[in-house]
Structure 1
Amino acid sequence: MSLRLPPLESLRYFEAAARHLSFTLAADELCISQSAVSQKVIQLEQRLGYKLFERRTRHLLLTAPGTRLYPAVHSALGLLSETLGNIGALTQRNKLTVYCMPSFANRWLMPRLQDFHSKHPHIDLHLIAEFNEPNFHNETVDIGICHGFADQHGTEQRLLFRDYVYPVISPSLQQTLELREPADLSRAILLHDSLPQAKLATSWQKWLAERGIHHIDCSGGYRFNQADLIVGAALNDRGVALGRHVLVADEVANGHLIPLFKDVVEDDGVYAVFLKKLANNPSIQTFCAWLEEQAKTFEREDCIEKICHSSPSLATPA
């Protein structure tokens, strides 16, 4: 008589909780609620007829049956995941799912994708542009372009280039306002990010406070929920943006925006992120090599020192 195995989903939840010895950390990894993990484990225990965990106030302990079950489930799920991944690589080796932030996609990646297609027409890209970084272990993303170091185990993270933050303004608005120093921003409309915790967000309040400027009211101005909308507003003379180099470099280079005050702050880097076990995937290798090539070109042609310090608006006033 064949053994009736418990549902795969419940074993997956048990494995994550046992590995972390925490329902909360397991829930974070699986992108579900803590109560959902707890309930699935309880259902698994009821089906098996014995307890897998001892519930303590701040952590979990595996029972004797749980201790015996965990390595078998961990090994089986790992083997299953690896096998499915290898099969997928063989059957879909020319399809690549890429993640990045929406503003980064619009301002940096999209203008360069024609170059990738012309060089590698056999690889079909599926671009997912979302605010939240994906869980590389549980989602269908093959490679991500992430702003800042992604804290996920089992991933390889390659620095593409550093990013910088500095104020930018349209030439016509600068001609009208003649902003010479940060204190002059009291005469300007400031463009704000309405999602201050987002990866590409910038903060005028923080920027001004770090320079000891407290007389400027940051509550006014325009607010947008995407960084590229802020860039668009600056291009249309709506105000002064606290821009990210990766998003405004092209507009600064062609003279549509000009940086202010010789004030450039180094910020997080931009990384290519993928699972280490997929490092030998041909499509990932190809796309990552192309990204690194584009990053070198970007740093060379849109060099932060060349762009910012060659701008006429940055000349030291007499």
Structure 2
Amino acid sequence: MTRRLPPLSALRAFEAAARNGSFKQAAEELAVTPTAISHQIRALEENLDCALFERRVRKVVLTDAGAQLYPVLRDGFDAFAEAIGRLRHRSSRTQVTISATTAFTARWLVPRVSGFRLQHPAIDLQFQASDDVVNVEAAGVDIAIRYGEGPYPDFAVLPLFADRFAPVFNPVLKIETLEDLAQRPQIAFQWRRRHPDNPTWSRWFAEAGLQPPFEQAQLRFSEESHAIQAAVAGQGVALASLALVKEELAARQLVQPFGPAISGFRHHLLIRKGETSKAIGEVVDWLRAEAAAEAA
């Protein structure tokens, strides 16, 4: 649909004059002469075929037609200014996009975001949480956090931390011995990539020197966070990443009284070669500092 509108310059001159109640003040605001404002408004009145102002000594007063037009233009220009201000603010900020698994994003990254924002208020973090392997370049990802030994061609790779897994459970289960533990449902989640060294219950029992209870009930989830939530709810014992249940252990929502804690793989930071910037470097430094604090 084609809009039949008067020139924007004339509408802008009218709005400024109506808001200030003066052609002179409108001219000062728009950095033109009062004569130019007068000409713009006269042209607008001719275009609309009605008077918009009553010209009085040292001031102008809106006519009924002008009073109808003014609030519409005022609100419209206010909306323009707000939208443009948001765009300018966004373009003046720096954004760094991080890709990680859903569980790692929710349970390791997100709880630390407030600390990052205090240190780097000018950098916006954007998270792409997915358990599928993301095409980093196509998705516009700056930093990818990957679990495993790779290989990761075409990336600069920095180690973050090595994971450890151990049995955790809600203390309401009152598990006091390894024999008690073996009688409780085992909570597990599906590893996306099969590997003989994945931290699994069978591997844990082997390293603990125990026979696995072959007939013991199990709860299996496709997503790691759901397995952790099931353990918090007291549904059984989860073999969980100690890094991802740190807050629950500190709050005594979960306990980890038994070893061994078996090793997992290492989390790595992947950065596209040639794509580094000061902001990316600051985010990388923050992530590695948080990982170092985790290991301390």
TM-score range, shorter chain: 0.5 to 0.7
Structure 1's 213 and 160: CA in aligned 2 closer, same or farther, altered over 3 A? same
Structure 1's 264 and 186: CA in aligned 2 closer, same or farther, altered over 3 A? closer
Secondary structure of 1:150's counterpart equals coil
Taking the aligned partners of 2:160 and 2:286, their CA distance within structure 1 comes to 11
Structure 1 residue 241 and structure 2 residue 229: aligned? no
Q: Which residue of 1 aligns with 2:4?
A: none
Structure 1 residue 286 and structure 2 residue 282: aligned? yes
Structure 1 residue 205 and structure 2 residue 202: aligned? yes
* Structure 2 unmatched runs, 5+: 1-90
Structure 1 residue 124 and structure 2 residue 124: aligned? yes
Contact 1:193 1:203 in 2 (8 A): no
* Paired residue type of 2:160: L
Contact 2:97 2:140 in 1 (8 A): yes
Structure 1's 162 and 218: CA in aligned 2 closer, same or farther, altered over 3 A? farther
Structure 1's 140 and 293: CA in aligned 2 closer, same or farther, altered over 3 A? same
Q: Which residue of 1 aligns with 2:171?
A: 171
* Structure 1 unmatched runs, 5+: 1-90, 301-318
Q: Which residue of 1 aligns with 2:111?
A: 111
Q: Which residue of 1 aligns with 2:261?
A: 264
**Cα deviations across residues 187-238 of structure 1 (Å, max 9, x unaligned)?**
1011121346379x74223322454544512673222121111111111111
Taking the aligned partners of 2:128 and 2:234, their CA distance within structure 1 comes to 31
* Paired residue type of 1:231: I
Moved more, 229-238 or 142-151: 142-151
Contact 2:160 2:269 in 1 (8 A): yes
Taking the aligned partners of 2:160 and 2:190, their CA distance within structure 1 comes to 27
* Paired residue type of 2:155: T
Q: Which residue of 2 aligns with 1:64?
A: none
Shift of 1:145: 1.6
**Cα deviations across residues 35-66 of structure 1 (Å, max 9, x unaligned)?**
xxxxxxxxxxxxxxxxxxxxxxxxxxxxxxxx
Structure 1's 188 and 219: CA in aligned 2 closer, same or farther, altered over 3 A? closer
* Paired residue type of 1:239: G
Moved more, 134-143 or 98-107: 134-143
Taking the aligned partners of 2:101 and 2:192, their CA distance within structure 1 comes to 15
Structure 1 residue 228 and structure 2 residue 225: aligned? yes
* Equivalent residue runs for 1:61-140 within 5 Å: 94-140=94-140
Contact 1:196 1:203 in 2 (8 A): no
Structure 1's 103 and 206: CA in aligned 2 closer, same or farther, altered over 3 A? same
* Paired residue type of 1:206: R
Structure 1's 299 and 94: CA in aligned 2 closer, same or farther, altered over 3 A? same
Taking the aligned partners of 1:268 and 1:92, their CA distance within structure 2 comes to 39
Contact 2:96 2:125 in 1 (8 A): yes
Number of positions where the alignment pairs a residue of Structure 1 with one of Structure 2: 204
Taking the aligned partners of 2:192 and 2:146, their CA distance within structure 1 comes to 17
Structure-2-length-normalised TM-score: 0.62
Structure 1 residue 144 and structure 2 residue 150: aligned? no
* Paired residue type of 2:143: I
* Paired residue type of 1:121: P
Taking the aligned partners of 1:198 and 1:92, their CA distance within structure 2 comes to 44
Q: Which residue of 2 aligns with 1:77?
A: none
Taking the aligned partners of 2:159 and 2:229, their CA distance within structure 1 comes to 28
* Match of residue 191, structure 1, among 183, 187, 207: 187
Structure 1's 218 and 98: CA in aligned 2 closer, same or farther, altered over 3 A? farther
**Cα deviations across residues 66-124 of structure 1 (Å, max 9, x unaligned)?**
xxxxxxxxxxxxxxxxxxxxxxxxx8971221101100111111011111122222222
Contact 1:123 1:283 in 2 (8 A): yes
Secondary structure of 2:258's counterpart equals coil
Q: Which protein is bigger by CA-based radius of gyration?
A: 2
